[in-house]
Amino acid sequence: MSRINSPFPILRATANLLTSHKKILYPSLFLLFVNLLVLEFLYFIPHFPLKIFFGPLIEKIWGESYLYYPLDLVLLPKLFYYAQMVVYFAIGSFLLGVTVHMVNAANNEERLSFKNSVTKTLPVYLNIFLASVVSFILFQVVNFFLGLLVFRAGSITSVSPLAVGIKKLIIVGAPYVQFIFGLLVTIILAYLTPVIVLERKKIAQSIALNLKTLFSSFWLTVTIVVIPTIFYLPILLIRNNIGVLVYKTIPEVQIAVIALSVIATVIINMFIMTSTTLFYLYKKDMQ
Amino acid sequence: MKRPVFLGIAILIGVYVFFSCLDWNGTYGGQRELWLIERDFKNKVQDKETPTSYELEKIAKHFRHYVKKHSKTRLAARAQLSVGQVYMIKKDFIQARIEFAKVSQIYAKDKEFLAQAEANIAETYKSEDNWPDALRVLQGIIKQYPLTPTGFSIPIYIAKYYEVRGYKTEALESFERAAAFYTDLAQKNPKKPLEFDSLRMIVYCRLAQSRWSDALNALREMILKFPTGSVLNESLQVINNIAVMKLHDYDRAISIYNEFLMKHPKHPATDVVKRMLAGLNSLKKTGTLISTKPL
Tell me what percent of the residues of chain A surpass a pLDDT of 70.
99
Rounded-to-integer distance, Cα A177 and Cα A170, Å: 9
Residues of B whose CB is below 8 A from A36: 12
Given B5, B28, B35, which is nearest A46 (Cβ)? B28
For the stretch A172-187, pLDDT in tens is 888 888 888 889 999 9
Cβ distance A69 to B8 less than 8 Å, yes or no, reads: no
Question: Among A24, A45, A47, which would you mutate to test the B interface (most chain B Cβ atoms within 10 Å of its Cβ)?
Answer: A47
Are the C-beta atoms of residues B153 and B115 closer than 8 Å to each other? Answer: no
Query: What residue type is assigned to position B92 of the chain?
Result: D
Predicted pLDDT at B265: 92
Per-residue DSSP letter, A89: I
Rounded-to-integer distance, Cα B88 and Cα B77, Å: 17
Alpha helices in chain B (DSSP H): 2-22, 28-46, 53-69, 74-89, 93-101, 103-106, 111-127, 131-144, 149-164, 168-188, 193-208, 212-225, 229-241, 250-263, 270-286
Predicted pLDDT at B121: 97
Cβ distance A40 to B12 less than 8 Å, yes or no, reads: yes
Confidence of residue B290 (pLDDT cuts 50, 70, 90): low
Cβ distance B11 to A33 less than 8 Å, yes or no, reads: yes
Could you please report the per-residue DSSP string of A178-242? Answer: HHHHHHHHHHHTTTHHHHHHHH---HHHHHHHHHHHHHHTHHHHHHHHHHHHHTTHHHHHHHHTH
Query: Which residues, other chains included, contact B109 with Cβ-Cβ below 8 Å and sequence gap of 6+?
Result: B74
Rounded-to-integer distance, Cα B96 and Cα A284, Å: 81
In whole angstroms, what separates CA B104 from the centre of its chain?
Answer: 21
A181 touches B: beta carbon within 8 Å: no
Question: Among A30, A48, A258, which would you mutate to test the B interface (most chain B Cβ atoms within 10 Å of its Cβ)?
Answer: A48
Could you please report the per-residue DSSP string of B204-233? Answer: HHHHHTT-HHHHHHHHHHHHHH---HHHHH
Query: What residue type is assigned to position A261 of the chain?
Result: S
Cβ distance A48 to B4 less than 8 Å, yes or no, reads: no
Rounded-to-integer distance, Cα B256 and Cα B269, Å: 14
Given A37, A47, A70, which is nearest B15 (Cβ)? A37
Cα of B149 to nearest chain A Cα, Å = 16
Cα of B25 to nearest chain A Cα, Å = 9
Cβ distance A70 to B23 less than 8 Å, yes or no, reads: no
Predicted pLDDT at B295: 45
Q: Give the end-to-end CA distance of chain B in Å, rounded to a whole number.
A: 74
Residue B291 predicted with pLDDT over 70: no
Residues of A whose CB is below 8 A from B11: 33, 37
Residue A5 predicted with pLDDT over 80: no
Residue B210 predicted with pLDDT over 70: yes
Predicted pLDDT at A194: 95
Residues of A whose CB is below 8 A from B12: 33, 36-37, 40
Altogether, the residues listed in chain B come to a count of: 295
Rounded-to-integer distance, Cα A152 and Cα A110, Å: 55
Identify the burial level of B29 via C-beta atoms within 10 angstroms of its C-beta, where 0-12 means exposed, 13-18 middle and 19 or more buried.
middle
Question: Among B6, B25, B32, which would you mutate to test the A interface (most chain A Cβ atoms within 10 Å of its Cβ)?
Answer: B32
Are the C-beta atoms of residues B75 and B34 closer than 8 Å to each other? Answer: yes
Per-residue DSSP letter, A24: G
Q: Give the H/E segment covering residue A144.
A: helix A125-154
Rounded-to-integer distance, Cα B74 and Cα B66, Å: 12
Q: Give the H/E segment covering residue A136.
A: helix A125-154
- Distances in Å between the Cα of B229 and the Cα atoms of A194, A250, B216 are 51, 37, 19
Say what the alpha-carbon torsion angle B239, B242, B248, B250 is, to the nearest 10 degrees: 0
Rounded-to-integer distance, Cα A127 and Cα A193, Å: 9
Long-range Cβ pairs for the range A159-162 (8 Å, 24+): none
**Orientation of helix B193-208 relative to helix B229-241, angle to 10°:** 30
B-chain residue closest to A40, CA distance: B16
Cβ distance B23 to A44 less than 8 Å, yes or no, reads: yes
Number of Cβ within 10 Å of residue A43's Cβ equals 21
Higher confidence at residue B123 or residue A201? B123
Rounded-to-integer distance, Cα B59 and Cα B40, Å: 8
Cβ distance A49 to B22 less than 8 Å, yes or no, reads: yes
Given A36, A44, A68, which is nearest B19 (Cβ)? A44
Number of cross-chain residue pairs from A and B with Cβ atoms under 8 Å apart:
43
Planar angle of CA A38, A40, A43, nearest 5 degrees = 110
Over range A151-158, report the average pLDDT: 75
Per-residue DSSP letter, A159: -
For the stretch B51-102, pLDDT in tens is 888 889 999 999 999 999 988 888 999 999 999 999 999 999 999 999 999 9
A68 touches B: beta carbon within 8 Å: yes
Confidence of residue B45 (pLDDT cuts 50, 70, 90): confident
A175 touches B: beta carbon within 8 Å: no
Given A23, A40, A47, which is nearest B28 (Cβ)? A47
For the stretch B180-192, pLDDT in tens is 999 999 999 999 9
Per-residue DSSP letter, B245: I
Instruction: Kindly report the backbone phi and psi dihedral angles of residue A45, in degrees, each rounded to the nearest multiple of 5, phi listed first.
Output: -60, -40
B-chain residue closest to A70, CA distance: B32
Most confident of A44-58, A232-246, B153-167: B153-167
ipTM of the complex: 0.85
Tell me what percent of the residues of chain A surpass a pLDDT of 90.
62
Identify the burial level of B47 via C-beta atoms within 10 angstroms of its C-beta, where 0-12 means exposed, 13-18 middle and 19 or more buried.
exposed
Confidence of residue A163 (pLDDT cuts 50, 70, 90): confident
Q: Count CA within 13 A, CB hemisphere, residue B184.
A: 12
Number of Cβ within 10 Å of residue A45's Cβ equals 20
For the stretch B263-279, pLDDT in tens is 999 998 899 899 989 98
Predicted pLDDT at B289: 66
Cβ distance B8 to A49 less than 8 Å, yes or no, reads: no
Number of Cβ within 10 Å of residue A13's Cβ equals 17
Given A32, A37, A48, which is nearest B23 (Cβ)? A48
Identify the burial level of B218 via C-beta atoms within 10 angstroms of its C-beta, where 0-12 means exposed, 13-18 middle and 19 or more buried.
buried
Query: Which residues, other chains included, contact A137 with Cβ-Cβ below 8 Å and sequence gap of 6+?
Result: none
Cα of B56 to nearest chain A Cα, Å = 21
In whole angstroms, what separates CA B196 from the centre of its chain?
Answer: 14
Across all residues in chain A, what is the average pLDDT?
Answer: 90
Predicted pLDDT at B48: 60
For the stretch B104-137, pLDDT in tens is 999 888 899 999 999 999 999 999 999 999 999 9
Predicted pLDDT at B294: 46
